[in-house]
Structure 1
């Protein structure tokens, strides 16, 4: 495997990211976006940002949500849930935060495009000014044959091209800049993978090829191999705990902490964890859990809790099944699961107890095709946002009280969902 990093300048292009936050999440072993024809050198396309409208100064930060639909992107005010913009974009599109709290990476045909969500802050010593502007696709893109996972961690944004195995890492604060420095590393083979960058220059990435995925590799700031593990068959997804990273396997999970890998064995011979949700205030990572290797679609009724300090894995029974877009974390590290019974289940991650269940939407059935819309959970601070595609609905829930704060009907059935806060310095437009 090549180990030397290649430092490239993203001239005339915009660099992008993923949260895992979740994590956004990815369908089980699925290709995240439609493949595009390979470019000659698989480098970056030109940045052709639309003319920016004069920004409007606001009294306070204005958080916004973005949801995909079949044929475009809807931008919503995160407090009122009123529509801010409807941006047409053909194809099956996916969303990832870029790490600057203003822009999103849109996985689409040909690579990752940048969406300027149009809300940001400028700090001036002891105070800040906050602005909004119309959301726009900037025209900048990171070329990718098959745009895959994007991960923001330790102030670094790493995104993975499944079609080539190429990993690109940038400073999250400059992720949308047309001339941001980028570090590019290659995988030995193209595969559906993921990479995570650290503030010490280390990069953790998956090992595999088009037939299988076997483990993980760590490289340092000059590209030299630090360590690896081959004890994670079917490796998929990642999440960050307080001081560790967790990667799902078909027989449990692997924890990376303190410069070493540790295996968490599943209690079943086939115990697949493929989607996870972490919290910076908790040592425990929430994961899904499946045991039927041959199922076309398994509808599990247990989730996994992986303690990255005690190096334990426990399972928690739920009163309903859930999907790969059902996992989230609350402000105190609460483990949240949106069930097919229409309730948001709240789990104490340390005790492993189901604390309460909040009625939010009608009962639903997970579709067999992973690209079909299904209810989706997105959490920001103390608010949980939940979609109900069949009703073209989105609602917000106060996690402290369980009360529904806002509820809106949309012009299109919502699919993926994420957002930005508009509080941090907004990077480059």
Structure 2
């Protein structure tokens, strides 16, 4: 692996600040000092921890034949884990675990980086990454949505949903997990909000157009069937949720579902990215229902306060793995022109375009590798399968501050922040790393059950029910 590194001040600042906090503690955590016992799990035994001076974020990538775990600062490879099949990734929302959608369900990967609160600061640990034996059983593991310390797993093959605390995924289905099975199986999604309300999609393999909201007791409190081709979700500021449709979106806010129509008769929004720092959701936008592969050059901005939908023209097309959000709510689109386009979500203005790689063209086969983007702490991590490289880009300055050559062709990407949960992290250190990659912003891409797909799904499936690629 060839690595070119340009250290950033924020990481250097962390290295200087956190040792003072660690020195103020008497002794390490129990996990750092305890010897394995008969009760110690296999995961705990394999992941003997080392205490670190600062947070140690890690990147997980898939390739044909396995997974690799990289150091997010140096981009050096930490681990290579063989795993057959077309595997997909979902960050669990706890800063440590990644759910691998694979044969049999959501298998838990311990990325080997985590934090433990200690008074007014945290202790940070690393260990060897481990693909554990813990699997959340699913016939067709689909969307996994992490939000405010909870994770909702959706089985497209059965319509079964499991919701539990993100920090319990390493133990499997929790005793107090919230479980329900929808009347009909379909490619769907679920997201739980802080008041216990649960948004679920409604439909079957042939047609889906419903959105239902259940309260904490499971009683329906809001519903609509006016969302044809319902797909994907994103959560914005004040827990406003946007669900995509083939003719617009549905917004859930203040206890009500509101339909927002696209300006075109067919204006499909199926991949969304939200941010708790912004009331505006970024979405894709497609207008040709018959296209085998549409290459859109416009994105949508949905204002959850007003219900307004604005379209923004871009210098190039993009794909289902192209959209993300910055820490301050910036709308980010990775274009096929090789540039990262930064949009002000309030004005819709294209603020800057950051050249990263050569121009590229996506394959018609949606499972084939294509550039992907994830964001953590002001950095956009961008993969380039054409050159087997990964780039670290400072969103604010536009500097590509690190590039590494990989020994494999990267496909999917997820981030384990290694940081404290959100409620502990505020004020913890200067940069306040996000818990996971922006857990409200996740690309969506859809697959067709009847199209001969093996069933490996993910928080972003974009392959429509007619068998067309719909990134």
TM-score by length of 2: 0.79
How many pairs are equivalent?
Answer: 380
Give the one of 150, 157, 174 matched to 2:144.
150
Give the one of 98, 123, 126 matched to 1:129.
123
Contact 2:47 2:130 in 1 (8 A): no
Give the one of 338, 341, 345 matched to 1:342.
338
Q: Secondary structure, in 3 states, of the residue corresponding to 1:96?
A: strand
1:302-381 superposed matches below 5 A: 302-381=298-377
| Change in 2 beyond 3 A, CA 1:55/1:49 | closer
Partner of 1:408: 404
Partner of 1:196: 191
Q: Secondary structure, in 3 states, of the residue corresponding to 1:390?
A: coil
Partner of 1:16: none
Partner of 2:108: 114
Partner of 1:62: 56
Q: Does 1:72 align with 2:98?
A: no
Contact 2:47 2:129 in 1 (8 A): no
How far did residue 225 of structure 1 move? 1.0
How far did residue 127 of structure 1 move? 2.8
TM-score by length of 1: 0.87
How far did residue 48 of structure 1 move? 5.6
Contact 1:393 1:410 in 2 (8 A): yes
Structure 1: 5+ residue runs without aligned partners? Answer: 1-46
Q: Does 1:176 align with 2:170?
A: yes
Cα distance in 1, alignment partners of residues 61 and 73 from structure 2: 15
Contact 1:48 1:140 in 2 (8 A): no
Moved over 4 A (4+): none
Give the one of 419, 425, 429 matched to 1:423.
419
Give the one of 227, 230, 240 matched to 1:232.
227
How far did residue 258 of structure 1 move? 0.7
Cα distance in 1, alignment partners of residues 212 and 421 from structure 2: 33
Structure 2: 5+ residue runs without aligned partners? Answer: 1-40, 423-471
Provide, for residues 26-64 of structure 1, a one-character-per-residue CA deviation record: whole Å limited to 9, x for no partner: xxxxxxxxxxxxxxxxxxxxx864732421111100000
How far did residue 174 of structure 1 move? 2.1
Q: Secondary structure, in 3 states, of the residue corresponding to 1:303?
A: strand
Cα distance in 1, alignment partners of residues 290 and 42 from structure 2: 47
Give the one of 237, 244, 249 matched to 2:245.
249
Provide, for residues 41-96 of structure 1, a one-character-per-residue CA deviation record: whole Å limited to 9, x for no partner: xxxxxx86473242111110000000000110010000110000000011010111
Cα distance in 2, alignment partners of residues 132 and 48 from structure 1: 16
| Change in 2 beyond 3 A, CA 1:327/1:183 | same
Cα distance in 1, alignment partners of residues 107 and 395 from structure 2: 33
More helix by share: 2
Partner of 2:296: 300
Partner of 2:85: 91
Contact 2:191 2:200 in 1 (8 A): yes
Cα distance in 1, alignment partners of residues 150 and 419 from structure 2: 19
Contact 2:136 2:172 in 1 (8 A): no
- Superposition RMSD in Å: 1.3
